[in-house]
Amino acid sequence: MYLSEETFRKNNIRDQTDIHFYTSNPNLFPNCSKFAEALTPIAEAKGVTTHFKHIVKSVDGPNRRVTFNLEGEDVETDFDLLHLVPPQTAPAFMRDSPLAHANGFMDVDIGTLQSNK
């Protein structure tokens, strides 16, 4: 999103683009509120419209439409360029492991990356 915005700006077409960021997450960086709080004003300053808690339901490529599920309701929108990233989660063997943190990823010391358990 940020790289696209910069490319559009450098090519003098930013004023011809409308950038929207859709995510199934509740904010821009769900695993770290510090980063989410830092990224939100950057997105706003760059004129990026954010949409949270939107889960991709279907994509109609030929008609350039995407349907999201937003808390039980279908929301459709048109697109010219669509970039999808699958949800980022730890594999089941890690989430179910006694070594996992509450977030499902391995619980490690940030300075050494050694297990805290």
| CATH code, domain with 34 | 3.50.50.60
Angle 11-15-4 from CA coordinates, rounded to 5°:
55
- pTM check: above 0.85: no
Q: Are residues 57 and 10 in the same domain?
A: yes
Torsion angle of alpha carbons 77, 30, 102, 109, nearest 10°? 140
Model confidence over 7-54: pLDDT tens digits? 999 999 999 999 999 999 899 988 788 999 999 999 999 999 999 999
Q: Are residues 53 and 37 in the same domain?
A: yes
For residue 51, what are its two tokens? 């949409």
Q: How many domains does the chain have?
A: 2
Parent domain of 54: 2-86
**How far is the first Cα of the chain from the last one, in angstroms, to the nearest whole number?**
37
Q: Is 47 left (phi over 0), alpha (psi -120 to 50) or beta?
A: left
Question: Are residues 72 and 39 located together in one domain of the fold?
Answer: yes
